[in-house]
Structure 1
Amino acid sequence: MSETTAGQRPAVLPNGMPAEAADRYRELGLWTGQTHWDLFERAITERPEHTAVVDRRRTLSYRELGEGIDRAATVLMAAGVREGSPVVVQLPNSAVFLETVGALFKLGAVPVFALPAHGSREVGHFCAMSDAVAYVGPRRGPRDLLAVADAVRRDHPEVTPVSVDERVTDPWAEATVAGDVVDVPDAEVPVTRVSPESLAFLQLSGGTTALPKLIPRTHDDYLYSVRRSVEVCDVRPEDVMLVALPCAHNFTMSSPGILGALHVGATIVIAGDPSPTTCLSAIDRHRVTQAALVPPLLLAWLNSPAVQEHDLSSLRTLWVGGAKLSDTAARRVGPELGCTLQQVFGMAEGLVNYTRLDDPEDLVVTTQGRPISEHDELRILDEDGREVAPGEPGVLYTRGPYTIRRYHRAPEVNARSFTDDGFYCTGDIVRQLPSGHIVVVGRDKDQINRGGEKVAPEAVENELLAHPAVHDVSVVGIPDEVLGEKICAYLIPRDGHREDFPSVTELRGFLRERGLSSFAVPDVFETVTEFPHTGVGKTSKKDQRGMAQPGPSRP
């Protein structure tokens, strides 16, 4: 995983960072030598009786979380997990996820974070690419997840299956290793101390065109990002953080996420599902102070009658990221939900940006924030690799104390994704304002070339979202013999507008009235009930391009 000789410190860390760069970040005080188990251990030791996590079935104090971690560690050791062992984790959102991950960190093992939406092909890829020794999945639950576990058993006999049921009172008493129930004594498991420069876990890229890449994160680099996120987002020990997105997602883990809550010893409330009914009820019942959403879920909350049915006065901050948030939706957050919006633009590879809590409203609703660290380095380049003029759009490249410099076991991808001097090509087209704030214009791949005119899908989406009959929208380019690409808009109607949804003529007129360029008005409109999604929960524009059929505009 790293270049070294016996007994020597690696010249290159698992995340691809040269040792001399690591030394510089340590001298600057950015890397503190903290490991992920240190994070868990401090919360368990310093706040033992404070509520750590609440899910649909259990409420655990930090002391009880520590006891659950020891029970999980006993099961994992029975599966052959030791220091440095890669273990694929694919679990539904629950306290069991925290117990499992905490146990792996206590054992010095390396979690490989699969999402519940990943299928057997993807999980098999993770097992093979990481040399996983074990796979932790649900004992009972959704059929798709159980099918993945069966496929791992069948296709990867070298991987020991561990099954646990998060729906019972004592999940680890009924956990199985290779089909056999494990005897779990109530005893503390010794800590395996690892180097903070070592591989902490493997995250997954959010790519839409191929199998996800594995992203190697070290303890030092990732926890610096967590600590800075806690500072920027003002996360406090008395806070109650709602988890509505998948626990294993990078956004949910660290921005500021589950690990941010653990850092200060706050309470984590895990929603049974991300629906407005469930989440808004949880905010009311548990007096939630913060939550993180992706734009489609935010729209679902904003457009839900449940907003009026629950007391949301405890909600202080809403973090929205994972995809571009439209200005139209952003302006609704304060007036309709009564909380402060922080836009988040980041990536599992590293760079994280937030709007600040004291930013003027215009910056909060129209930008995706600025980097968390003064040591984040940004380059914005044109298609020829030259820096663009200030304020002009270009492809974002970044390097810094928590951004990787290579993917795990992917030399060909690394050659395309990283420059010789360690800058990561994000593939995002952005503009940077004099304030340092970033405006995401689109993705390099998603930009539509309609007859020579470049159209950013987000600009069209933002205008269509202002229509009162539109719940959500996704705009893609589709092949056209004359123009090269036409513009296709997929529209999800709001409830109550499915039968009287506006015509194509009305929609085009609406866009022209809002000042949209004539060449940016969609050629094709399609109404749908939902969007296809990638394994990490983002709208799959690749699938939408394949779905679109050139022809008469609809509806």
Structure 2
Amino acid sequence: MNYGKKLRPVQEKTIDIWLGERFKANRNKTAIVEGINRITYGELEKKINQYGCYFKRRGISKGELVVLRIPNVKEFVFGLLGLIKIGSIPIVTNSLFGENELKGIFDKTDASTLVFYDKDEVSLRIHKGRASRQICKIAVKDIAEGLKEDTENIIEENKELDSIALLMLSSGTTGVPKLVPITHRMIYWHIYGYNQKFQFTSSDSYLACLPLAHKVGLYSPGILNVFFAGGKAVLCSDLDCDDIFVQVEKENITITALVPTLARIWNQYLNQECGYDLSSVRKIIIGGSLVDESLVTKLIEKVECEVLPLYGATEGLALYSIYDRSNLGDAVGYHYSVSGYEEIRIIDENGMDVLNGEEGELIIRGPFTIQSYYNQDVSMKDKFTSDGFYRTGDKVRWDSTYGYQVQGRITDQINRSGEKIEPREIEIFISEHPNIDEAVVVGVEDFLMGERICAFIMTADEKINLSHIRKFLMEKGLATYKLPDQLVKIDEWPLTSVKKINRVKLREIANNTAGKEKI
């Protein structure tokens, strides 16, 4: 396979069109496996139509925004594609989101419906959005009870290629997440390019370990790529290694995607004689955060397959490389883009291209890269250039041997197990505590998570500990994955030469043994 080859779809299609073709061609073939449930392509089509009809009966119309908060279960697929079928626009959210994040989405959009999996406390506490709009809440259980066999009233709304198919959350969130508009054309380019270069076929069985609400879990590449190829998607919500490897054996899994945290857990588990047969696996994709050559090498040695590190962003960045036994131990870089039609530059602080080998910010413009966020009414000069390039905020250099090598972040964003977190949001919430004078949050390098969240606080209250802080933040409605993993009490802030808080020094303090508390 020529991974550097340029690929352009001969004919671009909306999700409805190409899905309909796959339903017709693979009607009796298994599309989804979830636990004991096995769903054929024909049954999947019927469920999507039933969900679409149900949503229309509930008054959801074409162009309407609907917040979707469902974990890795079959109902996520039914709900997402049912909404797209009737022309509404699902806002795909993390099922771990707390009340604060969900309220923020309703406050900044015209969405008035929340579709969620179970009647959990977070979902039930959401009542009003912008201009005190009442929120209609639909639980999956209610949908299942309200489905009807008759789907003759389903009307497949005509859609333009450049119309928005769904809204996803930005890779980097500053407080309330920015919404990324994903069009039918963008999804088709992603799927077509990945399926060609990663060689997805109708014989593939894909294990969906990562959240379907993430780009890598959904289409870059994810379950939509599997459906496009006519293969089988095995949904996995339990990340216990025994459960996962049983599924690998039982379903003859050929492709899966992991975040580095999960890949490290696999490596640790496979150091033991576990006795599982993983020989069916031919490709493991690793995305969400940066990986090192040691992780890649160990995974290749233990699973004996190709490992494909993936570097990307929901905004439309996607670079990757291929590693196998022929290049074990090579430094990890990213050689290839998905289509080859992307324009990629590395610029200095003045916006000028740097020389090869020099570090700078990676920026990209291409056929599936956005040029603005949805409904964003503030300046985005820090995210987009005047000529339409997306600014990643990543410090990168080009190496002729290893490709694009990511050196770190230009900003202080934290990447915890693939979730991108803005420290300032957590700092603001901690500072609302009546007995805390000041708070600073930093990301600290962590073997398992990539980065852990460390909160530094100034307080005279000796009773405040990590458990207390986490409970306080949960009561504020913060998502669980944003809760600090470590707490350090400090009497004086280390400062830089220009009298700013020295976050580099704070990271060093967090790594020392004295004065730190971790979960």
Residues 191-226 of structure 1: CA deviation (Å, up to 9, x unaligned): 112111111111101225422110011111221011
1:290-305 residue pairs with structure 2 within 5 A? 290-304=255-269
Q: Secondary structure at the match of 2:368?
A: coil
Partner of 1:234: 199
Cα distance in 2 for partners of 1:488, 1:357 equals 28
Contact kept in structure 2, 1:321 and 1:343, CA below 8 Å = yes
What are the Cα deviations for residues 274-300 of structure 1, in whole angstroms up to 9, with x where unaligned?
Answer: 222221121111110010000000001
Specify the alignment match of 1:186 in structure 2.
150
**Match among 88, 102, 122 for residue 148 of structure 1:** 122
Task: Give distance in 2, aligned partners of 1:356 and 1:32.
Answer: 28
TM-score (norm 1): 0.72
Structure 1 residues 260-409: aligned runs within 5 Å: 260-304=225-269, 308-356=274-322, 361=327, 366-409=332-375
SS in 2 for 1:438: strand
CA contact (8 A) 1:251 1:257 kept: yes
Contact 1:106 1:191 in 2 (8 A): yes
547 and 347 in structure 1: CA distance in 2 versus 1, 3 angstrom threshold: farther
Secondary structure of 1:432's aligned partner: strand
Q: CA RMSD in A?
A: 3.4
Greater Cα offset, 352-361 or 239-248: 352-361
SS of the counterpart of 2:63?
coil
Counterpart secondary structure, 1:414: coil
SS across alignment from 1:303: helix
Of structures 1 and 2, the one with the larger relative CO (CA 8 A, separation 6+) is 2
| Match among 199, 210, 213 for residue 164 of structure 2 | 199
Counterpart residue identity of residue 268, structure 2: N
Report Cα offsets for 1:465-492 as digits up to 9, x if no partner: xxxxxxxxxxx9xxxxxxxx99965566
1:414 is aligned to 380
Whether the 8 Å contact between 1:331 and 1:365 is mirrored in structure 2 is no
Look up the SS of the partner of 1:217 in the other structure.
Answer: strand
CA distance in 1, matches of 2:100, 2:479: 17
Q: Residues 91 and 345 of structure 1: is their aligned pair in 2 closer, same or farther, counting only changes over 3 Å?
A: same
Q: 1:65 to 1:133 in 2, by over 3 A?
A: same
Residue 41 in 1 paired to residue 15 in 2?
Answer: no
Deviation at 1:121, TM superposition (A): 1.6
Distance 1:548 1:373, change over 3 A: farther
Q: Distance between the aligned counterparts of 1:259 and 1:363, measured in 2?
A: 32
Contact 2:215–2:221 (CA<8 Å) still a contact in 1? no
1:435, CA displacement in angstroms? 5.7
Distance in 2 between residues matched to 1:271 and 1:392, nearest whole Å: 41
Change (3 A) 1:363 1:266: farther
Task: Report the alpha carbon displacement of residue 329 of structure 1 after superposing the two structures with TM.
Answer: 0.7
Structure 2 counterpart of 1:374, one-letter code: G
Q: What is the alpha-carbon distance in structure 1 between the residues aligned to residue 273 and residue 89 of structure 2?
A: 40
SS in 1 for 2:181: strand
3-state secondary structure, aligned to 1:332:
helix
Are residues 31 and 384 of structure 1, via their aligned partners in 2, closer, same or farther at CA, if it must alter by over 3 Å?
farther
Checking the alignment, whether the CA contact within 8 Å between 1:39 and 1:263 is kept in structure 2 is yes
How many residues are treated as equivalent by the alignment?
441
Aligned counterparts of 2:298 and 2:229: Cα–Cα separation in 1: 30
Shift in Å, 1:229: 1.0
Q: CA deviation at 1:539?
A: 7.9
Q: Deviations over 1:162-217 (max 9, x none)?
A: 1113xxxxx8432xxxxxxx362332423112111111111101225422110011
2:253 counterpart letter in structure 1: V
Alignment match of 1:217 (pick from 158, 182, 191): 182
Contact 2:261 2:448 in 1 (8 A): no
Cα gap change, 1:538 to 1:332, in 2 (>3 Å):
farther
- The equivalent residue for 1:471 is none
Map of 1:508 onto structure 2: none
Amino acid across the alignment from 2:136: T
Distance 1:445 1:29, change over 3 A: closer
1:58 is matched with which residue? 37
Cα offset, 1:256, TM superposition: 1.4
Distance 2:24 2:330 in 1: 38
Query: Per the alignment, in what secondary structure is the counterpart of residue 111 of structure 1?
Result: strand
- The alignment partner of 1:65 has SS state of helix
User: Does residue 98 in structure 1 map to residue 98 in structure 2?
Assistant: no
Of 106, 113, 127, which aligns to 2:92? 113
| TM-score under structure 2 length normalisation | 0.77
> In structure 2, what is the Cα distance between the partners aligned to 1:380 and 1:371?
15
**Range that drifts further, 261-270 or 123-132:** 123-132
Whether the aligned pair in 2 keeps the contact of 1:323 and 1:538 (CA below 8 Å) is no
Deviations 1:103-147 (A, max 9, x none): 11211111100011111221122223331132110235xxxxx12
Q: Are 2:162 and 1:162 aligned?
A: no
2:357 and 2:402 mapped to 1: Cα distance?
10
Question: 1:16 maps to which residue?
Answer: none
SS of match in other structure, 2:107: helix
Gap regions ≥5 residues in structure 2: 1-6, 417-422, 424-440, 450-465, 491-505, 515-519
Greater shift, 433-442 or 324-333, is seen at 433-442
Aligned partners of 2:331 and 2:106: how far apart in 1?
41
Structure 1: unaligned runs, 5 residues or longer: 1-27, 141-145, 166-170, 175-181, 448-456, 462-475, 477-484, 494-527
Query: Is 1:243–2:208 an aligned residue pair?
Result: yes
Instruction: Measure, in 2, the Cα distance between the counterparts of 1:253 and 1:414.
Output: 26
Alignment CA distance shift 1:334-1:436 (3 Å): closer
| Equivalence for 2:107 | 128
The reply to whether residue 430 of structure 1 matches residue 403 of structure 2 is no
Could you give the per-residue CA deviations for residues 486-513 of structure 1, whole angstroms, max 9, x where no partner exists?
A: 99655669xxxxxxxxxxxxxxxxxxxx
> 1:341 touches 1:364 (CA, 8 Å); kept in 2?
no
